[in-house]
Amino acid sequence: MCSPHESQGEFLPPPMPTMPMPESGHTHSDLNILSITEDEAREAFIKFASRKCCYSSSPARDGVITRMEAFNTYRYRLKTFSESRSTEWSQEPYIGMPHLSCDRKRKRRRPCQRTCQRPRCHVCRGLGYLPCCKCQGRKRIVVYVVLEVNWTSHTDVYVVEQNSGLKVDHLRKVSGKKILKDTQTPMVHSLRDFPDPAVVEASERLTREHHANYHSQTSRIRQQRQTIELIPITRVGYMWEEKSFVYFVFGKEFKVSSEDYPAKCCCCSVL
């Protein structure tokens, strides 16, 4: 007998969080501009040139640094941990309760001692009927609900635009000085008192989008974390062979970008 509860699947939302959202902003300190020395800028430039097989190290070693400008920027990151649930009806043949045994021993059928003249049907095995595909001939089925729970993390990153001339894509693989880390259960509050209005706008927009996308009838936000990093960017101008050039030193790792490196013998990548 087939179950009347056969469906493609139904959504079962997780229980609502018990803790409310924070109602106040967050404080932060140590927002000082990060700067590097001339020696650090030159050393980073020399290491950059030494890793390029077709770059001469002369501009990095002998170039005269004429100016250094700091163009630090902020990177805001919002990470959301969400839980979603779904249910689906399933069934299987009933074979009795587990961990139970029958005291009675079944009588074994002895094989026929005579040579049978009529071959037995291999489909019904000589019983005259076909077993049900649902219960597999056991005449009973167990119908139950399968609950599937998924946990997912969602991350969005916003980098404040800066006028240094360095491409934002270069900042993806570098780290900065952490100036804020806020973790709340279930949700963080958008920033309100940060000195850079672009970070405040990004926090308000991303927290609103995450709430709309991941806190719905089918999912619940379980925890959120927002962080802010101050990424150091220094634009260095230098002279080599009476010509002016520019390179950038950025991130805590002192990565270097130099698109107009003056002494290279073939086409190489920028980084």
Q: Does residue 65 contact residue 38 with C-beta atoms inside 8 Å?
A: yes
Alpha carbons 58 and 113: distance in angstroms, whole number: 100
Q: Does residue 226 contact residue 179 with C-beta atoms inside 8 Å?
A: no
E-state strands within 94-215: 141-159, 177-184
Q: Work out the average pLDDT over 57-76.
A: 95
Alpha carbons 179 and 189: distance in angstroms, whole number: 17
Alpha carbons 179 and 29: distance in angstroms, whole number: 7
Per mean pLDDT, which range of 94-103, 181-190, 214-223, 262-271 is the poorest? Answer: 94-103
**What's the confidence (pLDDT) of residue 22?**
45
All structural domains of the chain with their residue ranges: 34-79+153-257
Cα of first residue to Cα of last residue in the chain, in angstroms, is 68
| Antiparallel, parallel or unpaired: β 64-70 and 233-240 | antiparallel
**What's the confidence (pLDDT) of residue 108?**
45
Query: Does residue 27 register a pLDDT over 70?
Result: no
What is the rounded average pLDDT for all residues in the chain?
83
E-state strands within 94-218: 141-159, 177-184
pTM above 0.85, yes or no: no
User: Cβ–Cβ contacts within 10 Å for residue 177, how many?
Assistant: 15
**What's the confidence (pLDDT) of residue 130?**
78
**What's the confidence (pLDDT) of residue 109?**
45
Alpha carbons 3 and 259: distance in angstroms, whole number: 69
Q: Work out the average pLDDT over 1-30.
A: 51
pLDDT in tens, 122-181: 777 777 777 788 888 788 899 999 999 999 999 999 999 888 999 999 999 999 999 999
**Dihedral over Cα of 257, 250, 226, 195: its sign:** negative
**What's the confidence (pLDDT) of residue 114?**
52
CA neighbor of 252 nearest in space, from 87, 101, 35, 38: 35
Query: Does residue 20 register a pLDDT over 60?
Result: no
**Which two tokens mark 81?**
């941990």
CA dihedral 59, 62, 64, 67 (to 10 degrees): 50
Q: pLDDT-derived band of residue 3, with 50, 70 and 90 as boundaries?
A: very low
**What's the confidence (pLDDT) of residue 17?**
61
Per mean pLDDT, which range of 73-82, 95-104, 105-114, 144-153 is the poorest? Answer: 105-114
Q: pLDDT-derived band of residue 1, with 50, 70 and 90 as boundaries?
A: very low
pLDDT in tens, 192-233: 989 999 999 999 999 999 999 999 888 999 999 999 999 999
CA neighbor of 116 nearest in space, from 126, 129, 107: 126
**Which two tokens mark 264?**
């290279």
